[in-house]
Amino acid sequence: MHTNIFFNGSWAGQLLVGCGLFCCSFLIEYHILYNFISPAPLALFLAITLEGGKVAAVIWHYYLGYLTSESYPISVRLVSLIFRLGLFTLSLLCSMLFLTARLDRPHLEQARQERIRTITTEAGIEARQIKNRFADKRQYMLARQRQELASINKSFAGQIQRLEELLRDEMDNVVNGVFKGPRYREISFRLEREKESLNRELAAARQRHAGALNHLDQQLDTELLNLTGRMRDLKNKAATADYADSDQANDPRIVALLNTIDAIFHRRWQPLQFVFYFSILISLLMEAGIMLAFATITMAIAPVLHARHVQELEKEATRVRMEGEVEQETIRHRTAMNRMRQTGAHIIKEAESVAAQVSPDCDGRPAACP
Asked if pLDDT for residue 262 goes beyond 60, the answer is: yes
The CATH number of residue 162's host domain is 1.10.287
Q: Are residues 74 and 162 in the same domain?
A: no
Decide which of 219, 249, 279 is a domain's last residue.
249
Total tally of structural domains belonging to the chain: 2
Do 114 and 94 lie in a common domain?
no
Whether pLDDT at 21 is above 80: yes
Question: How confident is the model at residue 179, as a pLDDT?
Answer: 54
Torsion angle, alpha carbons of 168, 174, 178, 182, to 10: -70
In DSSP terms, 175 is beta-bridged to: 178
Q: Are residues 134 and 200 in the same domain?
A: yes
Domain boundary among 321, 344, 364: 321
With 0.85 as the threshold, say if the pTM is over it: no
Say what the pLDDT of residue 367 is.
47
Q: Is the pLDDT of residue 181 over 70?
A: no
Give mean pLDDT, residues 246-255.
82
- 201 and 185, same structural domain? yes
Residues 178 and 189 in one domain: yes
Residue 261, in any domain of the structure: no
Domain boundary among 194, 221, 249: 249
- pLDDT at residue 16 in the model: 84
- CA 119 – CA 115 distance, rounded (Å): 6
Any domain includes 337:
no
Domain that holds residue 39: 2-106+268-321
| Residues 230 and 272 grouped into a single domain | no
pLDDT at 269: 83
Amino acid 129: pLDDT:
92
Q: Kindly write down the DSSP assignment for every residue of 144-203, as one continuous string.
A: HHHHHHHHHHHHHHHHHHHHHHHHHHHHT--BTTB---HHHHHHHHHHHHHHHHHHHHHH
Examine residue 129 and state whether it is found in any structural domain, yes or no: yes
Contact predicate 159/198, CB 8 Å: no
User: Does 355 map to a domain?
Assistant: no
pLDDT confidence of residue 109: 84
Percent of the chain at pLDDT exceeding 70 = 83
